Amino acid sequence: MLESAGPACWRIALPHTAAAVPIARALIRTALADIEAPADSDTAELLTAELVANAVEHTGPDEPIELVVELLATGCQVEVHDGDPSPPGNLDRTVADRSPDPWQEHGRGLLLIRTLSSACGHRPTAHGKAVWFTLPAAPGRPG
């Protein structure tokens, strides 16, 4: 169920399956299109998909996953909450990025988030953690 957490903030519980990824992408697309939020929806969809896929893959099947989308005057912030208190892989921009192994199927998601977002990180929550990113207003759009 989609629930508004404020005038420009939504929370949605996601299933703990691969179906969570297209649901999250659709929510982002709808939120940014309907409100005409000043952020790049293609990048927001991509980065959201990465965070949700990581939460599904790296947490237990009984742990809830929640998507929080906040539209800001300066862009948007997206958070994915899960029940695992362990921090995600490295989201620190100061660490020199190593190129992922071209033969591996994994290892590019956090690199994309670090590279394409204006800010990203994680924080503990009462029930696990939240991993987040922000995107700035898209050029030529009000913000």
Residue 116 is part of a domain; what is its CATH number? 3.30.565.10
- In this prediction, residue 62 has a pLDDT band, given cuts at 50, 70 and 90, of confident
Q: Is 38 part of a structural domain of the chain? A: yes
- Three-state DSSP class for residue 118: coil
From 3-7, 52-56, 86-90, the region with the lowest mean pLDDT: 3-7
Q: What angle do CA 23, 27, 30 make, to 5 degrees?
A: 135
- In this prediction, residue 143 has a pLDDT band, given cuts at 50, 70 and 90, of very low
Q: Is 75 part of a structural domain of the chain? A: yes
Domain count, the chain: 1
Question: Would you say residue 40 has pLDDT above 70?
Answer: yes
Order of all β-strands in the sheet with 9-14? 2-6, 9-14, 65-72, 75-82, 128-136, 119-125
Q: Which range has highest mean pLDDT (44-53, 108-117, 133-142)?
A: 44-53
- Three-state DSSP class for residue 135: strand
Whole-structure pTM value: 0.82
Cβ of 131: how many Cβ atoms within 10 Å? Answer: 24
Q: Is 98 part of a structural domain of the chain? A: yes
Q: Is 65 part of a structural domain of the chain? A: yes
Q: 11 lies in which domain range?
A: 2-136
